[in-house]
Amino acid sequence: MSDVDVDPIRVLHVDDDPEIVDLAATFLKREDDRLDVELAETAGEALDVVREGTIHCIISDYQLPDMACDEFAAAAREEAPGIPFVLFTGRDRAQLDDDLLDTAVTAYLQKGSGTEQYGELADEILTAVAEYEQIRTDGGRPEASSYRTDGGSKTDSRAVAQLFERVDDDDRERVLVEALDAIDDAFFILDEDGEIVYWNTYIPAVTGYDEGEIAGMEPAEFFASEHRERIDDAIAETVATGSAEVEAAVRKKSGDELPAEFRGARLTDDEGTVVGIAGVARDVSDRVTYERELERQNERLEELIGAVSHDLRNPLNVITGRLQLARELGDEEHFDALERATHRMEALIEDLVELARKGHTVADGDSVPLDALAETAWSGLDTADATLSIETDRTVVADEPRLRQVLENLFRNSVEHAGDEPAVTLGEMEDGFYVADDGPGIPEDDRERLLEYGESTTQHGTGLGLAIVRRIAEAHGWSFSITDSESGGTRVEITGL
């Protein structure tokens, strides 16, 4: 362990579970009896303690009840610059924000089930505190230079000052430009009149505009027309208040749009006069796509909740009523009804599990021979006197278990609803495949309803079979539709493969 000339070493452990903190305090004390752990259950409570100036290190969980972890880390560093911040959480590193780990956290340790973790935690604390105390006491660090943004707030630029001390005066501008060009985000500067006076190479590379075109453009011209007013408002807000954040769609030269998040900071001279705005823009396409997918899934979840609350309530009512009658009359028929109700609930629950598992987006698929998979799916069903004709040799790139579920559900739907001896066909389309039968078909007015959760044409169905098929298709990026077969039966088409 690192040699720390501090006793006691005051550690603030921020976690809303006091039992976790108590356990950590006990085992950390065994590792080094100088470690004195204090509990704070919220970030706000922790910041009050940090302001007292007696804490040497912070241990924090990721999920706090009153503040995001990155906000808490930043606030703690404002109160005690450089204070070690050890993230001790049950979350895997892959679940954490890279920026948090790279910039706000001194060390990261995942909570485990054994006590060995407290030895590692003690090592991290002692190492971090040793470095922190050296910085606070050695007196040999260069004074931090500063520049002014936000109308006067100082930002530590010690690293920049140290770098420039090693660079010739004539090369400093080149080094700075190269550094800004290396950023994987857009960086720009507007002058006091709102004109673009500097931009890094990311901007022409992403937007498609050349240097000459950018030099002659107003800031609002980079955006879709419906977003230009909010950009003008954000510029005005930055000048008035010191900073602003806004999201808007960048209009590329090609006409394509790119969702981006912009952050601007006011630039002032030594007298406080506004001389311009510095801004950074980040591509948020992935986040927007994720949010849209999450919104779609939430909408489906609301539909599902409505269907489930209705469909589970029915068999539960049957069970309650039949139990009362069975107690009063002792008639065997009530037990038969109870069994039927429990079987229906079991079938519904099984389909709900399938629905939950099958709806996640398919990132990568395998090449799956459709004919062979269809034979496997058909052989696993109780098809009675039904027959299957396979009229395709197409290979599909898909998640094989989920594609098998599609075929099984469609085959079962035809077997159960298309008559006593249905003829089922798996056929090929230009950009997909279909499953058709020669049954009575589905009236056009009922087709959309049957794609909703919990809708069925029979009393005993769960109404989730076609909903599961639709959800699996959408997870692959395919389209799903119901139409008439050539014989007047039902034909379900999966396209967009």
Query: Helices in 182-227 by DSSP H: which ranges?
Result: 202-207, 211-215
DSSP string, 244-279: EEEEEEEE-TTS-EEEEEEEEEEEE-TT--EEEEEE
Q: Using one digit for the tens of pLDDT, what is the confidence trace for 87-133?
A: 998 887 877 888 888 888 999 988 876 677 888 999 999 988 888 76
- Say what angle helices 332-358 and 285-329 make with each other, to 10 degrees: 170
For residues 289-316, average pLDDT: 65
- What element of type H or E holds 13? strand 9-14
Closest by CA to 45, choosing from 70, 75, 87, is 75
| pLDDT band per the 50, 70, 90 thresholds, residue 142 | very low
Percent of the chain topping pLDDT 70: 76
In this prediction, residue 443 carries a pLDDT of 81
Q: How confident is the model at residue 30 (pLDDT cuts 50, 70, 90)?
A: confident
State residue 217's pLDDT score: 87
pLDDT at 463: 47
Domains of the chain, each with CATH number or no CATH = 9-137 (3.40.50.2300), 148-283 (3.30.450.20), 289-495 (3.30.565.10)
pLDDT band at 477 (very low <50, low <70, confident <90, very high): confident
CA distance 12 to 204: 47
Is the model more confident about 109 or about 179?
Answer: 109
Q: Which conformational region is residue 341 in: left (phi greater than 0), alpha (psi within -120 to 50 degrees), or beta?
A: alpha
* Cβ partners under 8 Å of residue 266, min gap 6: 149, 150, 151, 238, 239, 241, 242, 243, 274, 277
Measuring CA to CA, which residue among 272, 273, 247, 243 is closest to residue 259? 247
What span, in angstroms and rounded, lies between the C-alpha atoms of 203 and 181?
A: 10
Nearest to 89 by CA among 71, 67, 105: 105
The helix/strand count (H/E) of the chain reads as 16, 19
For the residues 334-360, what does the mean pLDDT come to? 64
Average the pLDDT over each of 47-56, 106-115, 358-367 and give the range with the smallest value: 358-367
Report the pLDDT averaged over residues 364-378. Answer: 89
pLDDT tens, position by position, 16-29:
878 778 878 888 98
pLDDT of residue 112: 72
Q: At residue 454, does pLDDT exceed 50? A: no
Kindly report the average pLDDT of the chain as a whole number: 79
Between the alpha carbon of residue 414 and those of residues 103, 371, 380, 466, 482, the distances in Å are 58, 18, 15, 11, 13
Q: What stretch of H or E contains 292?
A: helix 285-329
8 A C-beta contact, residue 146 and residue 154: yes
d(CA 22, CA 28): 10
pLDDT above 70: residue 269? yes
Cβ-based neighbours of 378, under 8 Å, separated by 6 or more: 388, 407, 411
| 309 Cβ contact partners less than 8 Å away, ≥ 6 residues apart | none
Q: Which one of 17-31, 56-70, 300-314, 457-471 scores highest in mean pLDDT?
A: 56-70
pTM higher than the cut 0.85: no
User: With contact defined as beta carbons under 8 Å apart, do 76 and 46 qualify?
Assistant: yes
Assigned token pair, 291: 């949010």
Q: What is the pLDDT of residue 460?
A: 44
